[in-house]
């Protein structure tokens, strides 16, 4: 079902029947005074390149202590960093290591394959019941995500599954910023057009279409113009159309067309709760090869085409980071306001929150019933 949300409809008039939550539950969720720190969904873990480079990564992710590694066939395992034998920490600081694609526990040498199953021990056959608690993963061209479900429930929906065209696209620039925040608050920026003008100084901000929602997916389009000063004297004007595809609160993908140079760009904004207070906001960007720039961009025309996109990507990634740092000043100090006093120019804040409510399902009791 494809649903369009009327900009001023607030929470009324939206059909919930296909979303597994009742209208009343949604209203309660969006008007609750605080946000649960771990909304259900897919959250970024690491890039495949970072996993392969490090061998074994340990991190705090969605309030969980996890390890991540890959076997020789490229299967990635994201698992709780606790050994099911006698509870040793499996991270590299405690002596955990990967040997022949298996994670080896530093305490008694249990070995785990990329499904989390214990497949060997040094002195006895592997106990069948020894299995790590693993998280389901999803790979988007080398970006590894894992599913975090309320009460450990399995994935309820998927991230995009169609292969991402890579022909002519440069490598990713990846940067992670950590600050106090919540993924709903950072994602809300995608529909908060007023802040684009006020915080980031964009001009001509315009929304060509209304935000639309289809189950766990939300699409928001906007156009803007942006003037940047480079090297203190050169003024550049960017004229941008951005389509933001949101899949839950951990995954926002922005498809960007810059008209004055004639450039296509991809930007992922990936918010991941760390511990209930801090979040990691990972920015991933990619620019498509620019064969015939419409205008000269800091000497762009003089560079051979294969060098243009990586260079522009570095520049754009810095710009994105600068923008996000402007937001971080606000995000890191703000409070969630469940009953915001909105004005006409705010538009779609409440329909966005109504969409978000599906990511806070009721916890289940041990019999699987909603409590």
User: Which residue number, 14 or 56, has a Cβ lying nearer to ligand FES?
Assistant: 56
The size of the interface with ligand FES (CB under 6 A), counted in residues, is: 10
Q: Rule CB under 6 A: is residue 108 a binding residue for ligand FES?
A: yes
Task: Give the CA distances from residue 315 to residues 18, 47, 173, 199, in Å, rounded to whole numbers and listed in that order.
Answer: 43, 21, 10, 20
Query: Which among Fe ion, ligand FES, none contacts residue 327 (Cβ within 5 to 8 A by kind)?
Result: Fe ion
Q: What are phi and psi of 274, to 5 degrees?
A: -95, -60
Element containing residue 326 per DSSP (H, E): helix 305-331
Q: Which of 117, 124, 72, 121 is closest to 98 using CA atoms?
A: 72
* Among positions 189, 244, 252, 286, the unique one binding Fe ion when judged by CB under 5 A: 189
Q: Rule CB under 6 A: is residue 97 a binding residue for ligand FES?
A: no
Task: Give the CA distances from residue 68 to residues 155, 181, 215, 280, 313, in Å, rounded to whole numbers and listed in that order.
Answer: 19, 24, 30, 17, 28
Query: Which among Fe ion, ligand FES, none contacts residue 284 (Cβ within 5 to 8 A by kind)?
Result: none
Question: Closest CB to Fe ion belongs to which residue?
Answer: 327
Q: Rule CB under 6 A: is residue 83 a binding residue for ligand FES?
A: yes
Q: Rule CB under 6 A: is residue 82 a binding residue for ligand FES?
A: no
Give the C-alpha separation, 120 to 126, whole Å.
Answer: 5
At 137 the three-state DSSP class reads strand
Q: Rule CB under 6 A: is residue 88 a binding residue for ligand FES?
A: yes
Task: Give the CA distances from residue 331 to residues 179, 277, 356, in Å, rounded to whole numbers and listed in that order.
Answer: 8, 12, 18
Q: Rule CB under 6 A: is residue 98 a binding residue for ligand FES?
A: no
Q: Rule CB under 6 A: is residue 86 a binding residue for ligand FES?
A: yes
Query: Which among Fe ion, ligand FES, none contacts residue 189 (Cβ within 5 to 8 A by kind)?
Result: Fe ion
Task: Give the CA distances from residue 150 to residues 86, 131, 358, in Å, rounded to whole numbers and listed in that order.
Answer: 26, 21, 12
Nearest approach in angstroms of CB 19 to Fe ion is: 27
Q: Rule CB under 5 A: is residue 185 a binding residue for Fe ion?
A: no
Nearest approach in angstroms of CB 84 to ligand FES is: 8
Which residues of the shown chain bind ligand FES in the complex (CB under 6 A)? Answer: 83, 85-88, 105, 107-110
Binding site for Fe ion (CB under 5 A): 189, 327
């Amino acid at each position: 079902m494809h649903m369009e949300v009327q900009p001023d409809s607030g929470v009324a008039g939206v059909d919930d029947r296909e979303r597994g939550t009742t209208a009343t539950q949604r209203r309660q969720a969006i008007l609750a005074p605080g946000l649960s720190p771990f909304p259900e969904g897919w959250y970024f873990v690491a890039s495949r390149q970072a996993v392969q480079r490090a061998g074994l990564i340990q991190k705090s992710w969605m309030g969980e202590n996890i390890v991540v590694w890959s076997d020789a066939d490229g299967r990635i395992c994201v698992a709780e960093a606790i050994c099911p034998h006698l509870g040793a920490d499996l991270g590299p600081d405690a002596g955990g290591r990967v040997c022949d694609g298996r994670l080896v526990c530093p305490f008694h040498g249990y070995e785990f394959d990329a499904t989390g199953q214990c497949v060997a021990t040094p002195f006895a056959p592997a106990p069948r019941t020894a299995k790590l608690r693993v998280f389901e993963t999803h790979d988007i061209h080398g970006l590894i995500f894992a599913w975090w479900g309320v009460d450990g429930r399995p994935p309820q929906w998927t991230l995009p599954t169609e292969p991402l065209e890579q022909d002519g696209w440069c490598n990713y620039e990846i940067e992670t910023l950590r600050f106090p925040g919540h993924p709903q608050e950072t994602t809300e920026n995608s529909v908060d057009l007023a802040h684009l003008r006020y915080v980031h100084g964009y001009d001509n901000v315009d929304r060509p279409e209304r935000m639309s929602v289809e189950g766990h997916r939300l699409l928001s389009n906007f156009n803007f113009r942006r003037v940047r000063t480079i090297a203190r004297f050169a003024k550049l004007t960017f004229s941008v159309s951005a389509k933001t595809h949101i899949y839950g609160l951990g995954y926002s993908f922005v498809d960007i067309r810059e008209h004055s140079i004639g450039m296509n760009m991809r930007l992922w904004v990936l918010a991941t709760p760390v511990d209930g207070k801090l979040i990691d906001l990972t920015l991933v960007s990619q620019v498509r090869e620019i064969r015939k720039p419409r205008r000269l961009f800091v000497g762009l025309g003089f560079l051979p085409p294969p060098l243009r996109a990586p260079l522009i990507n570095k520049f754009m990634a810095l710009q994105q980071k600068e923008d996000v740092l402007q937001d971080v000043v606000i995000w890191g100090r703000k409070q969630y306001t469940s009953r915001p006093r909105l004005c006409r120019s705010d538009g779609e804040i409440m329909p966005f929150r109504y969409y978000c409510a599906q990511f806070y399902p009721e916890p289940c009791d041990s019999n699987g019933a909603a409590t």
